[in-house]
Structure 1
Amino acid sequence: MPKAQQSASPSGGVLAAMSALILAVLLAALDQTIVSTALPRIAEDLNGFDDIAWVSAAYLLASTAVTPLWGKLGDMFGRKSLYLASTSIFLIASVACGLAQDLPELIGARVLQGMGGGGMIVLTFALVGDIVRPGERGRYQGMFGSVYGVASIVGPLLGGVFTDQLSWRWAFLVNLPVGAVALVIAARALPAATRRTAARIDYLGSLLLAAIATGLVLVTSFGERWGWTSPSIAGLIAATVLLAALLVPVERRAAAPVLPPAVFASRTVVFSSLIGFAANAAMFAVLVYLPTYLQIVRGVSATLSGFFMLPLVAGLVMSQTLAGRWAARAALLRRILLAGLLANLAGLLLLGTIGGGTGTLVLSGYFLVTGLGIGMVPMVVMTTVQNSVPTADLGAASAVVTFARSIGAAFGVAVFGALLNAGFAHRTRSLPVTGGFDPARPGTIAQLPAGLRDTARDAFAHATAAGYLWVAPALVAGTLLAVFLKPARTQGRAAEHQPPSVVRPPQAADAGSEESLPAA
């Protein structure tokens, strides 16, 4: 193709493929936020208040456990067919969730849904590495972060509408029309692999990794409920550490390890994964608990809390758009990452000053700064890793980062929740109340008399602020790692001169190529 046609503008094939991938990410992101709003009604209808936490934990557990396996299988057998399979599993499981008649059925369907969702996410990130040249990856990866930000606001609103006006079952069934469109577009637009590997699947490594993920998710999801010092949690932690120690020699001996040692030998991959862990812990502590602060302290509805969060979403989208453009130059990746981490840290420190009387305009400013920081980090982390590994390891490397970010999100929500509840209980232990008020359940604030209710709301505001100050050191650690991070430039620069990938029908692919991603 003449140079005049090799512009920065993406081809129609790339745009079509990206639209399918964005729809898939939207499904996976909305699934958690919509369902969280519907949980109380689900517990009521299915008579499962004691075990309702498993509805969310089952999805998180399954999606985290299978993420590395999906990534490795994509490297071995091609990503398109596996992407279509994982999306189909997700949609079938969504139907099963919507039709569940009791809680065990719903939890089982959520496990299956998580297995599909985990594949959708990691294969989406890896497919971007296939269809977009390194210099353009940041711009497209940034779109996915914007989707997460929008889903964090839109999801609870849709969940409330479905639950109140229709049925909680629509929180799952709504996936079908969107997913069907994504499947049709993906089947036509995504590149098909023409190469298959004869290596055996690393079953033992996959099993160990799934068990490690299970232990981590169970500890984070139920640590507070079961007791952080209880024998159950202590046993889970010990077993997880032991399994992690066993995984190292198993992966070194495997013919096709699910986590290739070469990937972990890369300081770029290891540091980026740790940064992703810290950044996601902070991000989800913000996205999950700021709406709670608004609803309890400011007394707004779930719908209005979404509108209050719009400055955060605006900052997120703005920073990702700008960072995606700047990331075309590999030399700027670390600077963008540092800027994002520092802005995120500044946002957390500002949130650490909020109280019961903090004004709306001031809150909006704090939210904007936090959103600007949140938006830059995930995209740059994934782009940095993908530019540092060969195409054959794109799936495995993307899976490592995705795995670390998933565990970081779980830890962030769990640790912040524990800090919030402990801080709130400490600040309200002297309240002269009896009866149904439980300081470990902030929702019972509404049961207090008017005067005491204001005191309790102020205590909740200060407990929230203190929680953000406790989370801030995680971002300090991530910033220090970013200082010593050296994004690989060799592969990125070599590929920078390659024309952007385009998608063409499978029959047009070269038989000897690894993926049907011919140059334009």
Structure 2
Amino acid sequence: MSPEPLQTGRRRRFQEWPNYRWAVLGLTMAGIASTSFPITVLSASLPVIADDLQTSESAVSWVQTAPLIAMAVGTPIAGKFGDLYGHRRLYLWGYALATGFTVLTGLSWNVGALVAMRTLGSFIGAATLPASMAIIMTVFARRERALALGYWSAVTALSPAIGVAFGGFMVDAFGWRTIFFIQAVPSLIALLAAIPLLPDTARKPEVRFDVAGAVSLGLAVTGLLMAINRGPEWGWGHPLVVAGLAVSPVALVVFAAVERQTADPLFPLEFLARRGFVIPNLVTFLGHMAYMGTLVVAPFMLERSFGITEVSRISAALIARPVGFSVGAWYAGRVESRLGGRAIMIVGALTMSVALAATGASILAGWLAGVIALLFVAGVGQGAIRTPAVAGVANSVDDADLGVATGSLQMIGHIGAATGITIMITVLGPSESSERFFAIFLLAAAIASASAFSARWSPGLGTARSAGAGRRSRW
């Protein structure tokens, strides 16, 4: 049965509401929040899950690793599907199937079933990210996109923090499966509300989907992420890690060759000639390296340098990061039309750089309150980067390519995060030295500074003054 049973006429009546675009924004924010809130508490629950399913923590770590790879691979592909066949349709089907897999995840009978359900749900659920972004940017004028994306980014960042506050209690009281059963309820409500409200978007039924491009891109990203993610644990000489490192560049070359020859490419290579597309992606890659790399190291830092061993206390301290991200994204959306996307990305990246360096100094000084406050400030800086980066990429392409463009940005962010995590964890090793943590945060500060330097080359996209400039700004 199609998830679009209502007549188009009823949707038209909704679209006549004066604040219709804000209603669409609120609905998509609610949908994304319901899918992202379990992320943090699920990470903290992995030891409990391993014990319940009678497996090793190494095996259950794939509950996080495999979905990360699936989302990175699936997001640009799903974005292209939306560009071709309609983002509303993709959002509804993706959300419906992902909700079903959420319930099945809660019913998993062993670790293999758990990883499989999480991975399939994440791959299919990846459709909702570029689809929701494309729908938002369809109903909002270019001059308002950054403001809308600021709210959207703020909610997606804050929902995992809310999950820690409420999810941890539910896991302690009723078990880890409760996470997924609770998640399914708001997901279903958001899905039912989306059916009559979300607008249709343009479709290209005459254009064929680039299967060869999708397969080669999927192999390139999967090989790279698997090698980066598993290398530190399995060893860089492990056959699967070596295979991933070998397959990835070959598949990427094949992908480029396919995209040059096909009439309807999955990813138009001409995007790479646009500064408005390339620079926000580079800033995002470097920003995610610094942000996510130190976020994963932070629990070890709190335990080894400050003696905090309780999961609840560590989680409470780390909430400062996503709360800061939420504040930064929200504020960037409000001031972007006045200051310009380039200025905000530079200031955001520099803020994160200074905060990370100061965090390292606070670790050496044994100043826990300073560390927590600076985690918040670093989150503000990364949140400020996010909003103009997405708006810049969106404004650098035609509306017909919004899905694949924003999906590609999501993929680059995942690759940057995986790279940063691997680098920081490798540098840390088994060390309990505060000096080692200082060095790690100083390295992350340098990477954030490189992100700020890269942002200088942006044409200032995402502003009302320069809407459309990205398509004209070439190297």
Instruction: Report the TM-score, using the length of structure 1 for normalisation.
Output: 0.81
What is the DSSP-based 3-state SS (H/G/I as helix, E as strand, rest coil) of the residue aligned with 2:298?
helix
Compute the displacement of 1:218 (Å): 0.6
Distance 1:195 1:144, change over 3 A: closer
What's the CA shift string for 1:225-251, capped at 9, x where partnerless? 111244432331121011111111101
Whether 2:475 is the aligned partner of 1:470: answer no
CA distance in structure 1 between the partners assigned to 2:441 and 2:310 by the alignment: 23
- Residue 236 of structure 1 is matched in structure 2 by 244
Query: How far did residue 399 of structure 1 move?
Result: 1.2
Distance 1:152 1:412, change over 3 A: farther
1:482 aligns with 2:455: yes
For residues 369 and 115 of structure 2, what CA distance do their matches in structure 1 show? 42
Moved more, 361-370 or 343-352: 361-370
**Separation in 2, partners of 1:194, 1:235:** 40
Task: Select between 463-472 and 154-163 the one with higher mean Cα deviation.
Answer: 154-163
Structure 1: gaps of 5 or more residues: 1-9, 425-455, 497-520
Q: Percent identity?
A: 25
Query: Quick one: which of 255, 259, 262 aligns to 1:254?
Result: 262
Would you say the 8 A contact 2:83–2:202 is kept in 1?
Answer: no
Partner of 1:26: 33
Q: Deviations over 1:424-458 (max 9, x none)?
A: 1xxxxxxxxxxxxxxxxxxxxxxxxxxxxxxx5xx
- The alignment yields a C-alpha RMSD, in angstroms, of 2.4
Distance 1:410 1:134, change over 3 A: same
Describe the SS at the equivalent of 1:400.
helix
From 193, 202, 208, the equivalent of 1:200 is 208
Q: How many residues align?
A: 451
How far has the Cα of 1:489 moved from its partner? 7.5
Residue aligning to 1:226: 234
> Residue 146 of structure 2 is aligned with which of 111, 122, 138?
138
Pair 60,83 (structure 1): closer, same or farther in 2 beyond 3 Å: same
Q: Which segments of 5 or more consecutive residues in structure 2 lack a partner in the other structure? A: 1-16, 470-475
Alignment counterpart, residue 366 of structure 1, candidates 374, 388, 399: 374
Change (3 A) 1:173 1:351: same
Q: Relative to 1, partners in 2 of residues 1:407 and 1:194: Cα closer, same or farther, differing over 3 Å? A: closer
CA distance in 2 between counterparts of 1:401 and 1:248 reads: 17
Cα–Cα, structure 1 residues 25 and 69, in superposed 2: closer, same or farther, change >3 Å? same
Alignment of 1:66-81 (within 5 A): 66-81=74-89
- Counterpart for residue 352 of structure 1: 360
Q: CA deviation at 1:95?
A: 1.0
Per-residue deviation, 1:354: 3.1
Query: How far, CA to CA, are the matches of 1:31 and 1:365 in structure 2?
Result: 24
Contact persistence 1:91–1:176 (CA under 8 A): yes
Q: Tell me which amino acid in the other structure corresponds to 2:192.
A: V
Structure 1 stretch displaced more, 338-347 or 478-487: 478-487
Residue 302 (1) aligns with residue 311 (2): yes
**Matched residue, 2:106:** 98
Larger Rg: 1
Against the structure 1 CA distance between its residues 168 and 336, is the aligned structure 2 distance closer, same or farther, given a 3 Å change threshold?
Answer: same
1:110 to 114, 118, 121: 118
Shift of 1:381: 0.4
Once the two structures are TM-superposed, the CA of residue 222 in structure 1 deviates from its matched residue by: 0.6
Task: Name the counterpart of 1:16.
Answer: 23
TM-score, scaled relative to structure 2: 0.88
CA pair 26-483 structure 1, distance change in 2 beyond 3 A: same
Match of 2:214, SS state, is helix
Decide whether the 8 Å contact of 1:388 with 1:492 is kept in 2.
Answer: no
